[in-house]
Amino acid sequence: MTDLVIRNVRPLGKAAIDIAIAEGRIAAIGPNLPANGAAEEDGGGALLLPGLIEAHTHLDKTLLGMDWVENRVASSIRSKIDNEREMKGVLGLDPALQSARQVVMSIARGTTAIRSHVDIDTTYGLAGFEGVAATRARYADVMDLQIVAFPQSGMMIRKGTIELMDEALRQGADVVGGLDPCAIDFDPKGHLDVVFDLAVKHGKPIDIHLHEPGELGVFTFGLILERTRVHGLAGKVTVSHAFALGMNDYLRIGQLLDDIAAAGVMLMSTGPAGVPVPPLIRGLDAGIAFCSGTDGMRDLWNPYGNADMLQRAQILADRNYLSRDVEIERALDVCTFGGAKVMDLPDYGLEIGDFADLVVVEGRTLTEAVVTLPERKLVLKRGRIVARDGEALVEAA
C-alpha cells in the first residue's frame, strides 16, 4: 500500500517524475503515479536528492543554544584539546542535550545520517558517549547516527583511556576512532596497534583523525595502510582530514593516493581554508571513496558551522578550486553517496527499493542548488516527512 506520493520532482536534476513511497522505501518512480488514497505532496518541479550525509562531526560538544563563549584559545591542536577538556566542565556542557540540538538542526537542513566522533577521555569517562547514545536512541526513527569512540585527549599519553575506549565499544559505539598517532600520542606504533586491535576485537570499522602535516602524516599513512592490508580491513578504514595529502609533492602524493585506493582506505575532507587538503578530484579519480562533514561546529574549537551539507559541498568545491558543473556535482556526490559508502548505509539512493531518505530543494541543476543553498522544502526519513520549508518537525528540548 502506498503511503505517500511526491509529485513532479527531478531526481538528481533529471526529468520530472513522481515518487511513490511505501513502508519507508521508494516503491515506484514514474509519471502520473496513482495515489490510491495515499497522501500527496507537490514537488513543483524541484530537485530530488537522496538524504545528505554528515559523515564527520562532534555532536557531544557543540555549544548550540548555550550562552556565547568567547574563543581565546591559541590555534594549535594541543591548546584546543586542553582548553576544551577544561572548559566543558566549567560550562557544564550536557552531551545529550547538545547533540539533540545539532541533530534537529541537521534534520532541518536535509541530513538523514550522521557519523559523530565523541570524546572518550579519563576526565569525563563515558559521559559523552552515554549522552550521544541517548540521542541516538531518541531520534532512531528520524536519523541514522553512528558514534565513533574518539580518544580526543590522546590514548598512549593518558593511562586508562584504552580501557574506556574498549568499554565504549562494548556498550555500542559503532566505530573505533584515533587521533594523530605521532603528533598528539607520541607513539604511532602503539596507538595504531591499539586502534586496529580494538577494531578486530569488536568487529567495528575505524575512523582516524589525522591532522599531521607533510612528512609526518605521510609516515603515519604508511602505518595505517600496512595495518589495513594485514587485517583485511579494506573498505572499513577512514582517515579524516588527511592534511598531509595536501603536501606540495605531486609525484609522491599521486603515488600515495593510488596506494590508499588500492588498500581500500577512505578519506574525509571538510575542505577547510588555511590548511593543505587532499586533492579531491585526483583522489576520486584514483578510486578513493570520499565523504565530508561539518566537523566541530559552534564549539570550543571554532565558532563556525551550521550543519548544512549542501553548503559543505560548496565549501569543498570552492576549496578544491572546482568551477565546472560536472566537478561541483562530484563535490555534492561526496556529501550524499560518498558519505553513504563510508558509513556503509544499506539501501541508500534513489532507486526502487531504497529507503525513502529524501530531500526536495529548488534549483534548475544540482550545481545551482550547491551555489544558491535553497531552503529544504521537504526532508523525508524512511518515508516520513521530518522537515518542511527549512523547519524540522522534531524537537530538541
Interface with ligand CYT (CB under 6 A), residue from 179, 284, 358, 386:
179
Q: Which residues contact 148 (CB under 8 A, 6 or more apart)?
A: 115, 116, 117, 118, 173, 174, 175, 176, 177, 207
Kindly state whether residue 56 participates in binding ligand CYT, applying the rule CB under 6 A: no
Determine the 3-state secondary structure of 365 from DSSP.
coil
Kindly state whether residue 18 participates in binding ligand CYT, applying the rule CB under 6 A: no
Kindly state whether residue 58 participates in binding ligand CYT, applying the rule CB under 6 A: yes
Ordered alpha helix ranges (H), 109-187: 127-138, 161-170
Pairing of the two strands 111-119 and 144-150 = parallel
Kindly state whether residue 298 participates in binding ligand CYT, applying the rule CB under 6 A: no
Ordered alpha helix ranges (H), the chain: 77-91, 95-108, 127-138, 161-170, 188-202, 214-230, 250-263, 280-286, 309-319, 325-333, 339-342, 366-372
Count of residues near ligand CYT by CB under 6 A: 7
Q: How far is the CB of 80 from ligand CYT (least distance, A)?
A: 7
Kindly state whether residue 295 participates in binding ligand CYT, applying the rule CB under 6 A: yes
Query: Residue with CB nearest ligand CYT?
Result: 296
Pairing of the two strands 17-22 and 237-240 = unpaired
Residue 2 or 62 with smaller CB distance to ligand CYT: 62
CB burial of residue 97 (10 Å; 0-12, 13-18, 19+): middle
CA angle 358, 360, 362 (to 5 degrees): 155
Cα–Cα distance for residue pair 154/291, rounded to 1 Å:
24
Residue 2 or 238 with smaller CB distance to ligand CYT: 238
Residue 46 or 118 with smaller CB distance to ligand CYT: 118
Q: How far is the CB of 5 from ligand CYT (least distance, A)?
A: 42
Residue 89 or 287 with smaller CB distance to ligand CYT: 89
Cα–Cα distance for residue pair 368/301, rounded to 1 Å:
31
Kindly state whether residue 121 participates in binding ligand CYT, applying the rule CB under 6 A: no
Q: How far is the CB of 152 from ligand CYT (least distance, A)?
A: 6
Residue 103 or 142 with smaller CB distance to ligand CYT: 103
CA angle 128, 130, 131 (to 5 degrees): 65
Kindly state whether residue 124 participates in binding ligand CYT, applying the rule CB under 6 A: no
Kindly state whether residue 290 participates in binding ligand CYT, applying the rule CB under 6 A: no
Kindly state whether residue 109 participates in binding ligand CYT, applying the rule CB under 6 A: no
Interface with ligand CYT (CB under 6 A), residue from 290, 301, 348, 355:
301
- Stated as kind and residue range, the H or E segment containing 200 is helix 188-202
Kindly state whether residue 296 participates in binding ligand CYT, applying the rule CB under 6 A: yes
**How far is CA 272 from its chain centroid?**
15
Q: How far is the CB of 112 from ligand CYT (least distance, A)?
A: 23
**What residues line the site for ligand CYT (CB under 6 A)?**
58, 152, 179, 209, 295-296, 301
